Structure 1
C-alpha cells in the first residue's frame, strides 16, 4: 500500500521540479522516494494537479447495490442488528448470499 503524502508536500515537490530541478534531486531534498517524485510530476503534468487520485472502487457499484433500500430499512427498523443477522435476512428474503 502506498504512503499518503500531504497535499502541501506534493505541491512543494512539484514546484521544486518545475523550478528546474530533477525529480531525483527533489526526492532527495524532500526525503521521499524517487518513484514518488517521478510519478507525482507525471500526474501533475497529465492532470494539472498534484492531488492524489481517488482510491477504492467507484461509488454506486457492487452486488448489494440493488438491495440498498432493503438493507437501510432493515437497519433502521432494528439498529442493533448484527451483520450475520442482516446477512441471514438478505438470504431469507432475497436469496442473496453476502459473502
Structure 2
C-alpha cells in the first residue's frame, strides 16, 4: 500500500493553484494526477488544511463484551452452525455477518468438527 504524498508537495501544488495556475497545469508540472490536484485544492478550500487523512487503523471487533461471553458459552454448550449463530445474535440485538462470526470462532479456537460417518460396506 502506498504512502500519502509529502506535505511539502501538497503545499507547493496548492500554492501554485492559488497563484493563478490551473489545476490541470499544476498537476502536470508537479507530476501528479489531475484529480489529486483538484482534491487538494478543494480540501484546502473546505478545511483550510491539506494534511493527509488517516490511512488504515485498528478495526474494532464486531462481537465484544457481553455478546462475546454469551457466544463463547453458547458454542461450548452444544452443536452450532455459523449461520445459526448469526441468526441467534440477531435475535439478541446484534447484527453481524457470517464472516464476523467465523473470525470470532476462529480467533477463540472454538471450531466444531462434525464426526464423519462410518465407512459403508461394499457390495460385491
Normalised by the shorter chain, which TM-score bucket?
Answer: 0.5 to 0.7
- The residue aligned with 1:66 is 65
Q: 1:54 Cα shift?
A: 1.9
Matches within 5 A, 1:1-99: 4-56=4-56, 61-66=60-65, 87-88=108-109, 91=110
Q: For the pair shown, which has the larger CA radius of gyration, 1 or 2?
A: 2
| SS of residue matched to 2:32 | coil
Runs of 4+ in 1 over 6 A off after TM superposition: none
State the Cα distance separating 1:28 from its structure 2 match.
Answer: 0.8
TM-score, structure 2 normalization? 0.48
Number of residue pairs matched?
74
User: Unaligned 5+ residue runs, structure 2?
Assistant: 67-105, 112-124
- When the two structures are superposed, what TM-score results if normalisation uses the length of structure 1? 0.58
Using a 3 Å threshold, how does the CA distance of structure 1 residues 42 and 27 change in structure 2: closer, same or farther? same
Structure 1 residues 3, 66: CA separation in 2 closer, same or farther (over 3 Å shift)? Answer: same
Change in CA separation of 1:33 and 1:55 when aligned onto 2, cut-off 3 Å: same
In the TM superposition, residue 3 of structure 1 has moved relative to its aligned partner by 6.0
User: Structure 1 residues 8, 40: closer, same or farther in 2, change over 3 A?
Assistant: same
Would you tell me which structure has more helix in proportion to its own residues?
A: 1
Structure 1: where are the runs of 5+ without partners? Answer: 68-84, 93-99
Q: Aligned Cα RMSD in Å?
A: 3.2
Specify whether residues 4 and 10 from structure 1 end up closer, same or farther in structure 2 by C-alpha distance, changes over 3 A only. same
